[in-house]
Amino acid sequence: MQSHTAYRSRTGLVTALLFIIAFTFLIVWLPLVRSILDGDTYEWGLNYFGTFISGAGITFSLLFLVIQLFFYVAIFWSVFRAKNRIIAYGLVVLWWIHIFGNLLREIVVEGDTMFHGDTLNVHVSLSMLVIPLSAITALIIALWIRKDIRSTDTSIPWSRRNTTMALIILGPLPIQAILLYFGEPHATTDEIGVLITILQCMMVPLIFFPYGKSSH
């Protein structure tokens, strides 16, 4: 699978960056999975650069989440596997603008806002989380790009371990479907389904990590 060859090895810096990206992927993966598996009993919504986008179940607005799904997959893939490194840098910088640019704009324009997760009864101040995390992430991106530019190409093929990770991480989807579709909203089964989905989202980078040694 030459197209999936990793041209960069894994470092602590890029690992930290990818898990931060995975953390923000949660605002895409969770509503996408729940909209499909829960149906119209699940509602989601967010402000995106001044436009409120929302949906319940499978509606046209779900396309917004699907586009982001492909965007995140492209990021996870490119960080290690894009031979043209400008693609990787561009996607990561675009991601920072997409996530933190939007959230910082909302904080400046609207004041402090709250993230609400009704199923798990989670309510978090965005300002307390977004402002320091955006600064830390910008620094990590700058350091990563600087180090990556000076790195030499590796050649680490997509391995059986990558495929195994994909099966382990995405394998629970049928279980999630049962828990979310047949479970009562905000009940124990619903909460378990949400927790599995959150853990699944945070583990997605493990699918794309380069495993093994370079062939040159």
Q: How far is CA 89 from the centre of its chain?
A: 17
| Calpha distance 24→18 (Å, rounded) | 10
Confidence of residue 1 (pLDDT cuts 50, 70, 90): very low
Nearest to 48 by CA among 75, 71, 21, 68: 68
Encode pLDDT of 70-117 as tens digits: 999 999 999 999 999 999 999 999 999 999 999 999 888 877 666 665
Ramachandran category for residue 186: left, alpha or beta (phi over 0 → left; psi -120 to 50 → alpha): left
Encode pLDDT of 187-201 as tens digits: 788 889 999 999 999
Give the rounded percent of residues in the chain with a pLDDT score beyond 90: 69
Q: Is the pLDDT of residue 6 over 50?
A: yes
Ramachandran category for residue 122: left, alpha or beta (phi over 0 → left; psi -120 to 50 → alpha): beta
Most confident range, picked from 36-45, 135-144, 175-184: 135-144
Encode pLDDT of 22-33 as tens digits: 999 999 999 999
Q: What share of the chain is helix, strand, coil (3-state, %, to 5)?
A: 65, 10, 25
Encode pLDDT of 170-179 as tens digits: 999 999 999 9
Q: Is the pLDDT of residue 126 over 80?
A: no
Beta-carbon contacts of residue 101 (< 8 Å; ≥ 6 apart)? 49
Q: Name the amino acid, one letter, at 187.
A: A
Q: Which residue has the higher pLDDT, 207 or 43?
A: 207
pLDDT of residue 19: 97
pLDDT of residue 2: 53
Could you please report the per-residue DSSP string of 61-115?
Answer: THHHHHHHHHHHHHHHHHHHH-SSHHHHHHHHHHHHIIIIIHHHHHHHHH-S-EE
